[in-house]
Amino acid sequence: TAVNNISFDVKPGEIFAFLGPNGAGKSTTIKMLTTLVHPTSGTLSLNGFDPIKHPEQVRKTFGIVFQDPSLDDELTAWKNMDFHGILYDVPNKIRHERIDQLLDFVDLADRKNSLVKEFSGGMKRRLEIARGLLHHPKIIFLDEPTLGLDPQTRNHMWDYLKKLNESEGTTIFFSTHYMEEADKIAQRIAIIDHGKIIAIGTSPELKAETGTKTLEEAFLALTG
């Protein structure tokens, strides 16, 4: 059983972290919410739509940055963005304005005509975030978005996302193995282990519950 009878909610405009060991069910949960995997039981609701009954409506309301790279290395940054916008039926004028705006937002405007295969790992991640935001999603899912990035790039990436959350009210749902990231960024945290949510709350609440001083200590106390 990948995910076992879990129940939780995320508030509009919230920054919500999903923590758990490898194989705990984090990615499976994200895949169910984003229509990639069908649950065998239970109910889901994303922005008022059921991902099983109304997958098309659901897909229009979220953006996603996968754990594994999903860009086309043989296209430029701008072409990667444009292709994504076409798939989402974003009108030409709005699409092109939004592409320029987002590439500037993630500091890639000067590299918009460069092939993605020339980009560093951090630049690719920033482009994936910009691409995921192109169709004005209400929520963005980030599955271990900073895995393998250096600390400076990780900090810059979260600066972009916090600005986005503040300026557009975008809900951010992310999984990570970096405890300091969740401690610093997330407004609430859910900890999942062996397919079950074993704790949920703010970082101070989780520390108080376990009598620990750091989120990492709390995580280890809860997951054994």
Residue with tokens 């200590």: 217
CA distance 195 to 213: 26
Q: Tell me whether strands 139-143 and 196-201 are parallel, antiparallel or unpaired.
A: unpaired
CA distance 137 to 93: 18
Cα within 13 Å of Cα(175), Cβ side: 21
Res 145: pLDDT: 83
CA distance 30 to 158: 20
Q: For residue 149, give the 3-state DSSP assignment.
A: coil
Res 68: pLDDT: 80
Q: How confident is the model at residue 114 (pLDDT cuts 50, 70, 90)?
A: very high
Res 58: pLDDT: 92
Res 117: pLDDT: 96
91: CB partners within 8 A, 6+ apart: none
Residue 97: CB atoms within 10 Å: 12
Output phi, psi for 197, to 5 deg. -80, 120
Mean pLDDT over 101-106 rounds to 90
Between 118 and 65, name the one with better pLDDT: 118
Amino acid residing at 140: I
pLDDT tens digit string along 122-163? Answer: 899 889 989 998 998 999 999 888 887 788 888 888 888 898
CA distance 76 to 115: 4
Q: How confident is the model at residue 86 (pLDDT cuts 50, 70, 90)?
A: very high
